[in-house]
Amino acid sequence: MSNKDKNALWERQPGESAKAYEAFASYRDFGAERSIQKVSQALSKSLTLIKRWSSEWNWVERSRAWDNELAQQAKAAAVKRVRDMTGRHINIAMQLQKKALEALAALDLEEMSPKDIKEFIKAATELERANRLAEAELDRDGHSTGDGGGPRSLADAIMEAYARRKEEDGQC
Measured in whole angstroms, the distance separating CA 20 from the mean position of its chain's CA atoms is 39
Cβ atoms within 10 Å, residue 122: 13
Look over the chain and give the mean of its residue pLDDT values, rounded to a whole number: 84
Residue 156: predicted pLDDT: 66
pLDDT band at residue 6, thresholds of 50, 70 and 90?
Answer: low
Express as a percent the part of the chain with pLDDT over 70.
Answer: 82
- How far apart, in whole angstroms, are the C-alpha atoms of residue 10 and residue 67? 9
CB atoms within 10 A of CB 165: 16
* pLDDT at residue 132, as a whole number: 81
Spatial contact of 100 and 158, defined as CB atoms under 8 Å apart: yes
Give the residues across from 144 on adjacent strands. Answer: 138
Helix (H/G/I), strand (E/B), else coil: 101 = helix
What is the four-CA torsion angle of 155, 160, 166, 169, rounded to 10 degrees? Answer: -130
Query: Could you read off the pLDDT of 9-65 as tens digits, one per residue?
Result: 999 999 999 999 999 999 999 999 999 999 999 999 999 999 999 999 999 999 999
The whole-number pLDDT of residue 114 equals 87
Q: Which of 42, 34, 41 is nearest to 66 (CA)?
A: 34
